[in-house]
């Protein structure tokens, strides 16, 4: 299959490399890594085994990539205003678009641009960081829950999930994409948020009584909002325990929002915090701790911007 990776950060580089190693024709839209990858290929350092793709099709402009069968979107959600210009040159009448972005609202944004029938969403439970240019470090996990924006198009989701599995990626098609999105937020909101505010790792948060308690309280708010959304079935209370156990296995992991803040990059505050808050409020579910965390993150970003003005 001809696949384009738009948003070749840690997530895009890792999954793109796996898909190429699995026999697909993968084309990467690159910025920072362009020169390194063109010169020396892509190196993957993974808990599942290291590998090196010596020949990688990397491009600076989407027009150079051309039309493909599948577009995998790994952009940070704050860059969604560029989706039209970056994705349109890749799309023909049959092209599917899969967003692996965090948060809520990404599928709907793509549907408004390219039509809902072709849009798929994937929720990636992946621990990965970028290394030196031309390198990506897979630190653990990697499972994807994949569904169609329009549930009736579930067969398309199953087809793409099978493609990912054939490349060695743990990928399962789900009937309720929104449920999977909210389940990921049960992890993303507390750990991305607390780690970005405090500058402490996941292990630090769980090693502190107050940190662990705050994480669980945030999870409870997210699950309450999720279960007011008319999901196919509720997110069970024990899901928080599962997320704590999963997180304890990550060790001193630095979530993406923590790294973005340290590097002075924009944060995905709308998709991960603001939109869930809006959807919770619309169903009469207050999320005061989540709202406070968003406020702290917004102040931190504002302060950083003022410091560089």
At residue 304, the pLDDT reads 53
Q: Which residues pair with 72 in a beta bridge?
A: 5, 98
Provide the 3-class DSSP secondary structure of residue 164: helix
Mean pLDDT value of segment 27-39: 95
121: which strand partners? 99, 147
How many angstroms separate the CA atoms of 113 and 97, rounded? 11
pLDDT for residue 307: 42
Domain spanning 178-307: CATH 1.10.1040.10: yes
Domain positions in the chain are 2-175, 178-307
**CB count in 10 Å sphere of residue 119:** 26
Report the C-alpha gap between 151 and 145 in whole angstroms. 14
Homologous superfamily (CATH) of 2-175 is NAD(P)-binding Rossmann-like Domain (3.40.50.720)
Phi then psi for residue 100, to 5 deg, are -105, 25
Tell me what the mean pLDDT of segment 248-252 comes to. Answer: 90
281-298 pLDDT tens trace: 999 999 999 999 999 999
pLDDT of residue 141: 85
% of the chain exceeding 90 in pLDDT: 92
Answer whether residue 300 shows pLDDT above 50.
yes
**Tokens at residue 111, please?**
């549907």
d(CA 145, CA 171): 6
105-150 per-position pLDDT tens digit: 999 999 999 999 999 999 999 989 898 999 999 988 899 999 999 9
Query: Which residue is listed with tokens 């993968």?
Result: 26
Helices 288-307 and 209-226 meet at what angle, rounded to 10? 110
pLDDT of residue 36 exceeding 60, the answer is yes
pLDDT mean across residues, the chain: 95
Mean pLDDT for the stretch of residues 89-103? 97
Question: Which of 29, 14, 24, 3 lies closest to 135 in space, CA to CA?
Answer: 14
User: Whole-angstrom Cα distance, residue 6 to residue 218?
Assistant: 32
Distance CA 151, CA 130 (A): 34
Query: Out of 43, 76, 179, 184, which one is annotated catalytic?
Result: 184
Give the Cα-Cα-Cα angle 279, 189, 135 (nearest 5 degrees): 125
Mean pLDDT of all residues in 155-161 = 97
Which tens digit of pLDDT belongs to each residue from 260-275?
999 999 999 999 999 9
Q: Where are the beta strands (DSSP E) in the chain?
A: 2-6, 25-29, 42-46, 51-53, 57-59, 70-73, 96-99, 119-130, 135-148, 171-173
pLDDT at 303 over 80: no
CA distance 308 to 300: 13
43 is annotated as an active-site residue: no
Residue 79: the pLDDT is 94
Q: What is the pLDDT of residue 155?
A: 96
Q: Are strands 135-148 and 51-53 parallel, antiparallel or unpaired?
A: unpaired
With a cut of 60, say whether residue 308 has pLDDT above it. Answer: no
């Amino acid at each position: 299959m001809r696949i384009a990776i738009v948003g070749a950060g840690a997530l895009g580089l890792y999954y793109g490399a796996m898909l190429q190693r699995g026999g697909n024709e993968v084309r990467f839209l690159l910025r920072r890594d362009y020169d390194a990858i063109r010169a020396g290929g892509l190196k993957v350092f993974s808990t599942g085994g290291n590998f090196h793709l010596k020949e990688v099709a990397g491009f600076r402009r989407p027009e150079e990539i051309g039309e493909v069968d599948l577009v995998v979107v790994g952009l940070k959600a704050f860059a969604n205003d560029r989706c039209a210009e970056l994705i349109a040159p890749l799309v023909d009448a049959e092209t599917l678009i899969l967003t692996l972005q965090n948060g809520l609202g990404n599928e709907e944004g793509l549907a408004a641009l390219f039509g809902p029938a072709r849009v798929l969403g994937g929720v990636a439970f992946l621990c990965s960081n970028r290394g030196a240019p031309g390198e990506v470090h897979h630190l653990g996990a990697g499972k994807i829950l994949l569904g169609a924006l329009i549930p009736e198009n579930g067969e398309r989701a199953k087809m793409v999930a099978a493609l990912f599995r054939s490349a060695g990626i743990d990928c399962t098609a789900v009937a309720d994409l929104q449920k999977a999105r909210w389940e990921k937020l049960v992890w993303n909101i507390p750990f991305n948020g607390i780690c970005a505010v405090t500058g402490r790792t996941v292990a630090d948060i769980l090693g502190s009584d107050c940190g662990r308690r705050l994480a669980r309280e945030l999870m409870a708010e997210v699950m309450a909002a999720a279960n007011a959304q008319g999901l196919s079935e509720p997110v069970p209370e024990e899901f928080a325990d599962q997320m704590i156990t999963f997180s304890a296995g990550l060790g001193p992991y630095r979530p993406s929002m923590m790294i973005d803040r340290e590097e002075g990059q924009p944060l995905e505050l709308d998709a991960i915090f603001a939109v869930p808050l809006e959807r919770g409020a619309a169903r009469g579910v207050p999320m005061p701790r989540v709202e406070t965390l968003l406020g702290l993150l917004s102040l931190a970003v504002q302060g950083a911007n003022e410091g560089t003005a």
